[in-house]
Amino acid sequence: MRHSLVMTAAIAATAFGANAQNLMLNGSFETPGPGFITFADWQFFNNVFADDNVEQTAPDGVRSAKMFGFGNGAQNDHGLFQTVGGINEGMQYTLSSQVLNPSNDAIGAENVILLQMNFQDAGGATLETIETPAIDIDNDPFDTWVTNSVSGIAPAGTTQITVYLLHIQLGEDAGFPVQEGGASFWDNITLVEGGDVPCTNPADINGDGVIDFFDISGFLQLYAEGCP
């Protein structure tokens, strides 16, 4: 199994999202699940809850997903996941999310907030995992929905992708004797197919694998900024 870390610009998700079908079901968490299932079409583990615009205003609809750690001194993982079938090997896929770091319950340094895409074969074996921080707790602003995305080419044998949204709280063994806690809020999860090979043209300003209007817009923005 290969494992890599890739980050792409938020504008890449915008470019794909404008022209491609979202392969995720209930990506905005608007539909509740039956029984003890928090959201329809999603599975979850540990601390995952629905927030109906009570603590945070969702960027889309009236509901978002909230996660937070146990704060018990040991590592504990929390997350939502969904498996998407009908994936084509050799094609490029881009996974995007919006995540908010609340100032009144800020994510502590011992937390890792990950957006993860697992390419799997028909038997569910993972062929490659690609992930990116869903939010940069050191640099991204509080109380703001931040978009991040990760892209990768489905390796040979891929038939499905399992998407994970992860809030990992590291424990004392990782060098964090004090757990500061904090919550993450999630919304607008998208997975789109686009392109069978990465674009290496330097004119692909936003790195989304497509030469289009968004690259022109990106160039004009850079041009306007000039030299420092």
User: What 3-state DSSP class applies to 152?
Assistant: strand
Strand partners, 22: none
Per DSSP bridges, beta strands 2-5 and 126-133 are parallel
Mean pLDDT of the chain: 86
Sign of CA dihedral 221, 224, 225, 228: positive
- Tell me the domain boundaries of the chain: 2-197, 198-228
Please state, in angstroms and rounded to a whole number, the distance separating the CA atoms of residues 176 and 65. 26
Q: Which fold has domain 2-197?
A: Jelly Rolls (2.60.120)
pLDDT digits 0-9 by tens, 110-122: 999 999 999 999 9
Please state, in angstroms and rounded to a whole number, the distance separating the CA atoms of residues 77 and 211. 39
Residue 14 has pLDDT above 80, yes or no: no
pLDDT digits 0-9 by tens, 45-85: 999 999 999 999 999 899 999 999 998 888 999 999 999 99
Sign of CA dihedral 133, 138, 142, 147: negative
Q: Give the per-residue pLDDT at 203.
A: 79
Give the pLDDT band (50/70/90) at residue 201: low
φ, ψ of residue 10 to 5 degrees: the values are -60, -30
Q: Give the per-residue pLDDT at 207.
A: 60
Q: Give the per-residue pLDDT at 123.
A: 97
pLDDT digits 0-9 by tens, 117-156: 999 999 999 999 999 999 999 999 999 999 999 999 999 9
Give percent of the chain with pLDDT exceeding 90: 66
